[in-house]
Amino acid sequence: MIFISDFLKRKAIDTVAKRLGTQFVQHLPIHRIKDEKRLTLEFETALGHIQGFQRKEKLGTFGKARLINTFQWALIENGYDKDVAHKISRDIAVRLTPSATRKKTPA
């Protein structure tokens, strides 16, 4: 049932993800991407909004994937490099993944 609800919520997911991507770029313009402190602050802010929306809407796997992917494309459409947008999106996806299901990498 969660998959069906994700499908029905896709317009809301897309709207939120695009808004968050646009806000991210407005608060951290491309020319300031090297500022680690600012990047961390904006990343944590976006992550918090994404986590809140994900919990509120009870998104399943496909809903989370759509949210992250649309966020990534919003960054790209607003001028971010594809590699940078992909790294930010991947880091968000890792943070949304429950720690019990993350792969453990040997040190």
pLDDT along the chain (107 residues), means of 10: 65 94 95 92 95 90 92 96 96 84 55
Residue-level pLDDT at 37: 95
Amino acid 22 reads T
Give pLDDT, residue 7: 64
* Region of residue 79 (left: phi > 0; alpha: psi -120 to 50; beta: else): left
pLDDT of residue 1: 52
pLDDT of residue 62: 86
State pTM to two decimals.
0.83
Quote the CA–CA distance of 24 and 28 in Å, as a whole number.
6
* Cα distances (Å, whole numbers) of residue 2 to 8, 9, 55, 70, 100: 10, 10, 13, 19, 20
The pLDDT assigned to 73 comes to: 98
3-state secondary structure of 102: coil
